[in-house]
Amino acid sequence: MTEKIIGGRKVILIQEPEAADLLIQPVDDHDLSWLEQQQSDIRSRIPGRPVTTAAFLIHDWNKELSPWPAPPVFGKEPFGDGAEKTLGYVLNQLMPGLMADSYQRVFLGGYSLAGFFALWAAYQSDAFAGAAGVSPSVWFPGWEEYIAARRPLTDKIYLSLGTKEEKTRNQVMARVGDSIRSMYSLLQAQGISSTLEWNPGNHFQDSGLRVAKGFAWLLKD
């Protein structure tokens, strides 16, 4: 695991020799603690398929990963509209800095709001061979209306959720179960290669393992 600065952001790289696929993932400081185990879990699910993971650090989670403003749903911090700028960083600085065109495929994925960002990005750019929304924040206000009028620009989408995530007293976040089921049904109707996997537990359980499962599903032919 090595660290680089690309476009002013810290990027953690886990490179495997002769990797044909590149995995890009927005992370916070907490996520860094399980990146190596996540890579090991990916490798165990796709033996003989080396990959490179590039995890770039997000400084303001609610602002940088949100496609449009929304009021706070917990605490006092609202959501911003920085996702477009973050995607611009991925496409115009991070991917060129990683020589992404030397890989056969590039996948984007993440956990929670980062997973939501990955899904949104799949509707914005055709640069990704697939997107993994792992426990994604698809409860986000306006999301269901947004995707109802659009088709993703990627070939594969992985969705997952914890079985207890929709069982919350927060009325906005409690929509996550219905929202992800609705999204999966829409993707199926559109003929997008997709899956919806249910994991035991709540939102804070086995984050790295869940992300590994998502990327491994995308990587399988």
Any idea what the CATH number is for the domain that residue 49 is in? 3.40.50.1820
Residue 159 within a domain: no
Strands 51-57 and 105-111, how do they pair? unpaired
Residue 92 within a domain: yes
Amino acid at residue number 189: A
Residue span of the structural domain in which 85 resides? 2-137+203-219
Query: Is the separation of the CB atoms in 140 and 120 below 8 Å?
Result: no
Residue 48 within a domain: yes
Per-residue pLDDT tens for 37-85?
999 999 999 998 999 999 999 999 999 999 999 988 877 889 999 999 9
> Which phi and psi (to 5°) does residue 201 adopt?
105, -175
Residue 155 within a domain: no
Residue 118 within a domain: yes
Per-residue pLDDT tens for 157-195?
999 999 888 788 878 778 898 999 999 999 999 999 999
Residue 26 within a domain: yes
Residue 21 within a domain: yes
Query: Does the pLDDT at position 15 exceed 80?
Result: yes
Q: Which of 129, 98, 134 is nearest to 116 (CA)?
A: 134
Q: How many domains are contained in the chain?
A: 1
The secondary structure of 93-156, three-state, reads HHHHHCCHHHCCEEEEEEECHHHHHHHHHHCCCCCCCEEEEECCCCCCCCHHHHHHCCCCCCCE
Residue 74 within a domain: yes
